[in-house]
Amino acid sequence: MRLGVDLGGTKIEILALASGGHQVLRERIATPQGSYEDIVRAIADLVHSSEKKLGRKCSVGLGIPGAISSKSGLVKNANSTKLIGHALDKDLSAALHRLIRIENDANCFTLSESSDGACRDAPAVFGIIAGTGVGGGVCIEGQVLRGSHNVAGEWGHNPLPRPSLAEVEHAPDCYCGQKGCIESWCSGPALMRLYKAQSGLTKSVPQIVEAAAHGDAIALDHMEAFYDRFARSIATIVNVLDPDVIVLGGGLSNIEALYHELPPRVEHYAFTPEGPSKIVKNRHGDSSGVRGAAWLWGEDEVALGRPRG
Ligand SMILES: [Zn+2]
């Protein structure tokens, strides 16, 4: 039995997967807003209480909104800033008396969809989470590709490709310190901000999409610009990795028009003379991050009772 834990800024979710990816337990608690130590204790308590309910000891994988530095072994790039600079994998392993695995949440999403989700038979998968931010992950043959600095897939902080003069002139500041990152143009908050600048109206992303569907000229123009920017950004992934499938997750993946608007535009911008790339919606929705954390331990490893390799 494998436990996956998804650590977010407001909630910690746990899920148990039996063989074949069958879900047997799922719970969530509020993330402690106190110290780092409180967070470690809360995760350990959640694992122990789940194991008590399941009646067995399990493997544990954890998804976090950040990465473990390959150089220092400490958490970096986390928007949950309490984690930064701590050896979370070591501290949690000590608290649980076992080896645990930690992975970036976008990598967990990609692993989940690659393992038993929307692209389970695809050798090379690029997963995109587009919501509050824009992140990504890479899975090759069902394994997460971390890269030598644990930042593989962090394409949301590349600059928007092929920018117009206006996009250069109005490149938004990004929290990472750069200007004009893909995330600062294509995230949910960016969509809302740009629509407000154009229309003077405050609308949620679903409201903007609905207004476009009803023929609202400003919303149509705005969504057209969004599809074009998103397609330019995805085209760079195609030119570098040429994945068999690109799977979309996060709140923006619920925009159904993406799946017919993006492929021809990506084909136009990418160096792909043999047809459009396959862009699909995720299978597991909000569960994908926590499922991917559980998949950090393979079924073969759990069956053998030891890590492979
Ligand atoms: Zn950035």
What would the pLDDT profile of 214-268 be if each residue is shown by its tens digit? 999 999 999 999 999 999 999 999 999 999 999 999 999 999 999 999 999 999 9
Burial of 54 (0-12, 13-18, 19+ CB in 10 A): middle
Distance from the CA of 158 to the center of ligand 1, in angstroms?
Answer: 7
Distance from the CA of 175 to the center of ligand 1, in angstroms?
Answer: 6
Q: What confidence score (pLDDT) does residue 70 get? A: 83
Q: In the predicted model, is pLDDT for residue 18 greater than 80? A: yes
Task: Please state, as a whole number, how many other Cβ atoms lie within 10 Å of the Cβ of residue 273.
Answer: 6
Nearest Cα residue to 267 out of 225, 235, 223: 235
Distance from the CA of 305 to the center of ligand 1, in angstroms?
Answer: 41
Q: What confidence score (pLDDT) does residue 79 get? A: 67
- What mean pLDDT do residues 20-33 have? 93
Q: In the predicted model, is pLDDT for residue 81 greater than 80? A: no
Are 248 and 257 contacting, i.e. CB atoms less than 8 angstroms apart? Answer: no
Q: In the predicted model, is pLDDT for residue 302 greater than 90? A: no
Which residues are CB-contacts of 231 (< 8 A; sequence separation ≥ 6)?
261, 262, 265, 266, 268, 269
Residue type, 3: L
Residue type, 104: N
Q: In the predicted model, is pLDDT for residue 284 greater than 90? A: yes
Q: pLDDT of 166-202, one tens digit each?
A: 999 999 999 889 999 999 999 999 999 999 999 999 9
Q: What confidence score (pLDDT) does residue 161 get? A: 98
Question: For all residues of the chain together, what is the average pLDDT?
Answer: 93
Nearest Cα residue to 12 out of 289, 296, 297, 298: 289
Distance from the CA of 65 to the center of ligand 1, in angstroms?
Answer: 15
Give the Å distances, CA to CA, from 95 to 5, 22, 205, 306. Answer: 15, 27, 41, 19
Q: What confidence score (pLDDT) does residue 309 get? A: 55
Distance from the CA of 307 to the center of ligand 1, in angstroms?
Answer: 35
Distance from the CA of 226 to the center of ligand 1, in angstroms?
Answer: 17
What global pTM score does this model have?
A: 0.93
Task: Please state, as a whole number, how many other Cβ atoms lie within 10 Å of the Cβ of residue 166.
Answer: 8
